[in-house]
Amino acid sequence: MNLWCCKCNKVVNAGLVKGDVIYPHRPDLYKKNFYKCPKCGNYVGCHDKTTRPLGCIPTYPIKIARQKLHAKMDPLWKSGKITRTALYRLISKRLGYSYHNGGTRTVQECMKVWDIVDSIEKDL
């Protein structure tokens, strides 16, 4: 599958592998699907029980930044103060392009979205 790799800074032909390749110490993840960059070895998971990637292939710092964003955003929409769709729509509007967490390519982009979510949260 052709995917953007954030470390290689280009589209790569990522190989589909199972969780035992990525997480050999985690038997609970053995059956999950991942796409692995053939050049740098970074990877991205797939939507549950599919081979559809969750986004582009992140570096470790981008992966951590995405996780932190989810930890900030998910409680906000799960609280019922705003729907998930409305939150993503507002983020997209303020960014000027269609936003999805799995599509973030830099830590700086994650930081920008963090600030946007902060602003949205204060407005609610």
Dihedral (Cα; 62, 67, 72, 73), 10-degree rounding: 90
Are both 35 and 84 inside the same structural domain? no
* Measured distance CA(69)–CA(103) in Å, rounded: 12
Average pLDDT, the chain: 97
* DSSP β-ladder status, 33-36 and 2-5: unpaired
Q: If you count them, how many residues does the chain have?
A: 124
Residue 51 lies in a domain: no
Per-residue pLDDT of 53-87, as tens digits, reads 999 999 999 999 999 999 999 999 999 999 999 99
Residue 30 lies in a domain: yes
Please tell me the predicted confidence (pLDDT) of residue 117. Answer: 97
Are both 24 and 71 inside the same structural domain? no
For the chain, how many structural domains are there in total? 2
Structural domain range at position 33: 2-45
Are both 69 and 115 inside the same structural domain? yes
The stretches in the chain having pLDDT less than 50 are none
Please tell me the predicted confidence (pLDDT) of residue 34. Answer: 98
Please tell me the predicted confidence (pLDDT) of residue 95. Answer: 96
